[in-house]
Structure 1
Amino acid sequence: MIVFTSICTNYAHKARTLAESVKKNIPDAKFLVCLTEREEPETMNSPYFDEVILSKDMWEGNFNRYIYKHAIVEASTSVKGHFFKYIISHYPEEDKFVYLDPDCFVYSDFVELRNLLDTRPIILCPHLLQPGNIDMELSSTAHGVYNLGFLAVNRSEEAVRFINWWADRLYLFCYDDIQRGIFTDQKWIDLAPCFFDVEVFKHRGYDFATWSLLDCGMTKENGQYFVKGDPLRFIHFSGYGATIEKCMRDWLPEGEHPFKELYKEYSKVHEKNNEDNVSKTPWSYSKYYSGEAVEDKLRIEYRNNNDAMYSIEDPFALSNSEIKRILKNKKQNLFELGIQSLKQNGVRETWRRIIKQL
């Protein structure tokens, strides 16, 4: 089994924490890190990482042109589909592949998941397994029914079909843009059970998370943790810090609780792994080679202008002013094309041509 996560260096402490828990509880698993940085820094050295692979090194095509259009959170999620393709191709001896977000922590071996992957090609976990938390129900309609902090596939034609489809969608649209119905890599997966042979995994011990807290039924018995009778396999500490702490106050009873105990223990390991302040590491793709910071609004303009995007071989070799000039020129060219077409072809044909350019 391969377990991997996808990060930029500022999440190395979370990846260290996750990897340690994987190696302790799933000792036969290989743990890989997909790192979206220009180079691998020394801070990525960890005895629990079997391999760190730079996104640019596993990419097919012009990676700089691709990654420039993404903010940091979009970037680390946008490469996940292609990384699945990479590991399926480059680890032919493996037949089970699991993605976990870096803020997950494993508590016991994935017994049920291993058995499922013997026969089921694609396995997803829903955010919610019971009604009642209307805040999280509304959140799921916006952010996605299934949580992509976890995804598992086996080596099968169906899994490869799914991964290829998902990777293609992420190549085009992996943005934090809820108004357009997109939430990074996650919202796309609402469609997966419609298109592919997907197992919706409803074991409460997998992907237990912040959104699971209300009426969660977590217990501790003889040193082992259970969620309404299901043995705890891993917790997704999404919203670590203020968000989780607020949810614990709002959704858990006062006094001692097994989740509060686990959160306290996780916090100690998490903070220990950040003693070198790796969380403060600037993202290398946030700047041009010159050191000038990339303006976030330019990323959005760039990705919405295909003519400009595909005319630039390496945007990081330029500057904000040069990118602005190219975008302005391409917009002007499109305007001039519209005027010329209007004179020659009339309104209907002009709109058809402009829409095609967009």
Structure 2
Amino acid sequence: MGKLAVGTVVAKSFLSLARVLADSFRRYHPETPFFVLLSDEVDGYFDPASESFQVLRLSDLGIPDLARFRFHYTRQELMYAATPYLLTHLLEQGFSGAAFLKQESLVVGELTPVLELLGRRSIVLTPHLLEPLCGEEGIERELNILQSGVYNVGFLGVSATPTGRAFLTWWRERLFEHCRHEVPRGIHFEQRWLDLVPAFFDDVEVVRDPGFNVAHWNLPERKVAVSGDDVTVDGHPGRFFRFSGFDPGRPDAVTRYNDRLNMSNLGGAAEIFRRYVRLLDAAGYHETKEWPYAYGQFANGRPIGERGRYLYRRLGRRADRFGDPLATSSPENFFRWSRRRVGMLWTIKRAWWAVRKKWRDGLQLLSGGR
């Protein structure tokens, strides 16, 4: 097995999560380099050189049309869409394999079994579930999984083989514009695309170890035991936990996605959640979570909003005439154009509502006359 690298992606308000993840990973793999891609700007809020991991910027990754890529996504969407670009960059730096861990994760044991797979397989995936669920509730949970994707991007590994590189090229192309939560269109951010991977690419390994990717979607079935630093899941060594939908400010709630789960019915996993809260506190969570997102407003400080991003996406290549979509100093900029456009649309809507009201009033008069 050649030299491997591991990384994650965060906006700066999630920096404390990256700190906890990186520290927990290095505890078990001190020789493996850990990278954090910042899908944001530092803006003086922290010193990348003082962090215990190497910080990468989006501008380091050679993303084509970067200004457009950043603008048409929200903070959450951009973090997700940047994932294949990070993995591609690590392979281009000469690593024989690269693994991605979602920022809201905690490593509780060695990841050697999956890291070693990168010496034998091109692509390594982890599923949400390992066995069929029971009853009506189980069917509902399986339906939810089908909407979000069979495989979870809490962990993903890829090696520097032709197949691995072909997969990343395909995934990058899809996520450049199609990394949003649009379930009716079959899209759940970057994740739903992975359903196609075993059909499109050879040399794919699906990890069926219950110690990996332990989270709210499989905690009802998995028995977690904690004894000091030793964690087991269904009798197997614990590897890493995901805290998807977990709010450290509401430590009794396991996730906003499942109100049936709480700390009182979580068993041994509750200790892992309590441990995670303590680690986040020590990593500056309450400070970093307030840090603003650099790409959430125009250069004049006005918020972009979903309407602005939607209009920009609809323009396609016609938006190129504006240059940097965040800029507001040039005579013809996207901010000015979008405000005129939105104003015009609202004028049309108000006029239409007025016409409809007169039409309805007229119908009521006619009806009353009969």
Question: TM-score scaled to structure 2, two decimals?
Answer: 0.81
> 1:127: Cα distance to partner?
0.8
1:278 maps onto 2:281 in alignment: no
> 1:174: Cα distance to partner?
1.2
Give 1:1-358 correspondences, 5 Å limit.
1-39=4-42, 41-43=44-46, 45=48, 49-90=52-93, 92=94, 94-132=95-133, 133-197=138-202, 198-220=204-226, 223-241=229-247, 242=250, 244=254, 250-251=260-261, 254=264, 257-274=267-284, 277-318=287-328, 320-325=335-340
Q: Which amino acid aligns with 1:116?
A: L
> 1:22: Cα distance to partner?
1.0
Identity of aligned residues (%): 25
Q: Which amino acid aligns with 1:250?
A: R
The C-alpha deviation readout for 1:267-292, integer Å capped at 9, x for no partner, is 11112212561111110000111212
Moved more, 109-118 or 218-227: 218-227
Task: Report the CA distance shift for 1:161/1:246 in structure 2 as closer, same or farther (over 3 A).
Answer: closer
Would the aligned equivalents of 2:125 and 2:207 in 1 still touch at CA under 8 Å? yes
Bigger radius of gyration, 1 or 2?
2
- Give the match for residue 348 of structure 2: none
> 1:304: Cα distance to partner?
2.1
Would the aligned equivalents of 2:311 and 2:338 in 1 still touch at CA under 8 Å? no
- Mark the runs of 5 or more structure 2 residues left unpaired by the alignment: 329-333, 345-370
Task: Report the CA distance shift for 1:288/1:124 in structure 2 as closer, same or farther (over 3 A).
Answer: same
Task: Report the CA distance shift for 1:249/1:80 in structure 2 as closer, same or farther (over 3 A).
Answer: closer
The C-alpha deviation readout for 1:167-224, integer Å capped at 9, x for no partner, is 1111131112222111111111111111012111111111111111112122346752
> 1:50: Cα distance to partner?
2.7
Q: Which amino acid aligns with 1:77?
A: Y
Moved more, 77-86 or 219-228: 219-228
Q: State the Cα RMSD in Å.
A: 2.5
CA distance in structure 1 between the aligned counterparts of 2:68 and 2:258, rounded to whole angstroms: 42
Task: Report the CA distance shift for 1:279/1:60 in structure 2 as closer, same or farther (over 3 A).
Answer: same
Would the aligned equivalents of 2:7 and 2:37 in 1 still touch at CA under 8 Å? yes
Task: Report the CA distance shift for 1:85/1:281 in structure 2 as closer, same or farther (over 3 A).
Answer: same
> 1:46: Cα distance to partner?
7.2
SS of the counterpart of 1:208? coil
Would the aligned equivalents of 1:74 and 1:175 in 2 still touch at CA under 8 Å? yes
SS of the counterpart of 1:172? coil
Would the aligned equivalents of 1:13 and 1:273 in 2 still touch at CA under 8 Å? yes
